[in-house]
Amino acid sequence: MDMHNARDTGATRLEDPWYDALATGWGEAEDADGEPRRARPPAAQAVYTEVHGSAAFQEVRRRHRRFVLPASAAFLVWYLAYLVAATTAPHLMARPVIGTLNVAMVAGLAQFATTFLLTWAYARHARLRRDRVALELRWVTQEMMRGRGR
């Protein structure tokens, strides 16, 4: 038995108020059906170009870079130091710390700990320094899109 409770509404249109332009995958060559994707509407392109050049957007990007680049560099140096020590100083890494726990095991576990710590610090930084401004930018962008008629 094949029953449908909903009526067929047809294809999603660009004018549809529930159409999520951000989830359409602009920039991809074709959609799942093999159909060519529609090009970004000129109004949307103008809005996103305008927002991209705005001081608020640049501030969000600057705050992101000021955290991510040093944190990534520090973690990479810490990881490479662990690898170099493990390969060039096996006698140091084999030195016992407590019982059968040696320096290599402590450093390896510290890699996991710093990964979780860095993830927590990134989430906290994003919540305190970027999320509010990014959300305001999203609202501004949506209002600009509504004002230009999509």
The band of 136, judged by pLDDT with boundaries at 50, 70 and 90, is: confident
Distance in angstroms (rounded) separating the CA atoms of residues 118 and 144: 36
What are the boundaries of each domain within the chain? 42-147
State pLDDT tens for residues 64-107.
999 999 999 999 999 999 999 999 999 999 999 999 999 999 99
Whether the model pTM is above 0.75: no
The band of 1, judged by pLDDT with boundaries at 50, 70 and 90, is: very low
